[in-house]
Amino acid sequence: MRLIVPLFSTMGGLLLCLLLLFVFYYLRFYRHGRIMLGSGLPGSFDDEQQAIRDEEMYLHTLDESARQAYFRAKGRGPLKYGFLKSRTDWLAYQESSPPDSTNTEISLSQFLSIQEKGVSAWEFEPDLETTNCIVEYRTEMTFYDTECSVQTNLPLPKQNDMYYWEAKLHELPANTMVAIGLATKPYPAFRLPGFNKYSVAYLSDGTRRRSQPFFGKGYGPVGRQGDVIGCGYKPRTGTVFFTRNGKRLEEAATNLKKSIFPTVGANGPCSVHINFGQAGFVFIEANVKKWGLAPMNGTLLPPPAYGSSELGDSVLLAAGFNGNASLTQGEDSSSAGIVPDVSSPMTPGPPYLPSDISLTNLSHRQSGMPQIPGIHAPPDYSSDASSVLDDGAPGPSGAQQPLLSPDEEETRRFDRM
């Protein structure tokens, strides 16, 4: 009995070792599946091979304009489609402009701009030479009759767990397709997001595309005029999801951890308005958790509201009221004498004479101020005319003689003789 227990324990240990060895051998040599030759990220070797297979299978299904745009983005194509293999004739966009060719991370100056302006720091910048699109008020885009896309000036930040933005299909004809998504920069402006490498998009035909120029996969409802398409991004996992009219859809992409920019494109006339957080979202969860790209208001104070009904809100107007108030505390302007302001500096010129009738710097003389010799206040025309003397001296009533014309002075001089 003492020998049976150690024997069974030894045999059990051997069987367990053989089982583990068999499982390892099977998984190592007999398992069939997809061999990941790359990292699994967009642009890796495995994705390149899949792209080649897709090109062989689906390229013939595209029309001439679609094939032309495909080879224009790729750089060169086979001669049977009328494209040259020379790189000097066709710009190899993907090879000459990879996403890491330029530094697209948020710089220090851009970070400070975001702190000052808040969410208003983001705006769409169309390439006027290659795109047929007009951007108004930073986020309101109007597309016309050619296929193009527009990207923002700043990428999505990576500090928070989630970022979210929405696009409203303000005007969308039935024969126009709109693509809402994310893409790296530089990105070909003549391609919609989702059609070229390093991009993902939700299309208004109800499909989604991730670096797929040939076909899209069914994803959500068809977009119509007035719908709101939202896009969410998790920087830590590179996960992208979309919403439609406040309802969240499934994840559209993962492992998209490059510096990506909000991108909107269309192949026909339409109008799209973007909300980065400057207003409330249709997706309620984004409002509750504050998933906007930045705070609604930055540290930069807005300008004063000129033209407001409340005049006290204006600093300049308030200062003007204080000046008027100090004026009313003294003597009334109608009763106060008006004398030249001799205390203020005067412009160079001839000295001032009492008989000079040119314009002078006048100021109100408050009551109780001494009269400046040689300078008199204007005459009181309501006084008795008989009190005015010929030599200009004040009469009995204290009024000064009014100025006479040269002819009148000469006539009086002859009368005295």
Mean pLDDT, to the nearest integer, of 135-143?
94
Convert the pLDDT of each residue in 32-61 to its tens digit.
444 444 444 444 445 666 666 666 666 656
Q: Is residue 235 part of a domain?
A: yes
What are the DSSP calls for 260-299, one per residue? Answer: EEEEEEESSSEEEEEESSSS--SSHHHHHTT-SSS-SS-S
Least confident stretch, 40-54, 207-221, 231-245: 40-54
Quote the pTM value. Answer: 0.57
- Which residue has better confidence, 28 or 260? 260
> 257 falls in which pLDDT band (50, 70, 90)?
confident
> How far is Cα 222 from Cα 208, in angstroms, rounded to an integer?
11
What are the DSSP calls for 117-154, one per residue? Answer: HGGGG--EE--TTT--EEEETTTEEEE-SS-EEEEESS
Query: What does the pLDDT read at residue 324?
Result: 52
Convert the pLDDT of each residue in 368-391 to its tens digit.
555 555 555 566 555 454 444 444
Query: What does the pLDDT read at residue 369?
Result: 52
What 3-state DSSP class applies to 27?
A: helix
Give me the number of domains the chain comprises.
1
Q: Is residue 45 part of a domain?
A: no
Q: Is residue 352 part of a domain?
A: no
- Which residue has better confidence, 88 or 256? 256
Query: What does the pLDDT read at residue 138?
Result: 93
What 3-state DSSP class applies to 170?
A: strand
Q: Is residue 255 part of a domain?
A: yes
> 134 falls in which pLDDT band (50, 70, 90)?
very high
Contacts of 256 (CB under 8 A, 6+ apart): 42, 182, 198, 200, 233, 238, 239, 240
What is the rounded average pLDDT for all residues in the chain? 74
Choose from 57-66, 295-304, 356-365, 391-400 the range with maximum mean pLDDT: 295-304
Residue 186 has pLDDT above 50, yes or no: yes
Least confident stretch, 107-116, 227-236, 398-407: 398-407
Q: Is residue 252 part of a domain?
A: yes
Q: Is residue 158 part of a domain?
A: yes
Strand 270-275's sheet: what is its strand order? 133-136, 140-143, 270-275, 163-171, 228-234, 239-244, 247-253
Domain that holds residue 283: 97-288
> 80 falls in which pLDDT band (50, 70, 90)?
very low
Q: Is residue 208 part of a domain?
A: yes
Which string of b and e fits 251-274 if b means at least 16 CB within 10 Å? ebbbebebbbbbbbbbbbbbbbbb
Q: Is residue 207 part of a domain?
A: yes
Least confident stretch, 48-52, 180-184, 268-272: 48-52
Mean pLDDT, to the nearest integer, of 223-227?
94
Which string of b and e fits 117-141 if b means at least 16 CB within 10 Å? bbbbbbebebeeeebbbebeebbeb
In the structure encoding, which two tokens stand for residue 314, read together? 């204006």
Query: What does the pLDDT read at residue 336?
Result: 45
Residue 206 has pLDDT above 60, yes or no: yes
Convert the pLDDT of each residue in 332-354 to its tens digit.
444 444 444 545 455 555 555 55
- Which residue has better confidence, 17 or 375? 17
CATH of the domain at 258: 2.60.120.920
- Which residue has better confidence, 401 or 165? 165
Convert the pLDDT of each residue in 287-323 to its tens digit.
999 999 999 888 877 666 666 555 455 555 555 545 5
Burial class (CB in 10 A: 0-12, 13-18, 19+), 24: exposed
Residue 79 has pLDDT above 50, yes or no: no
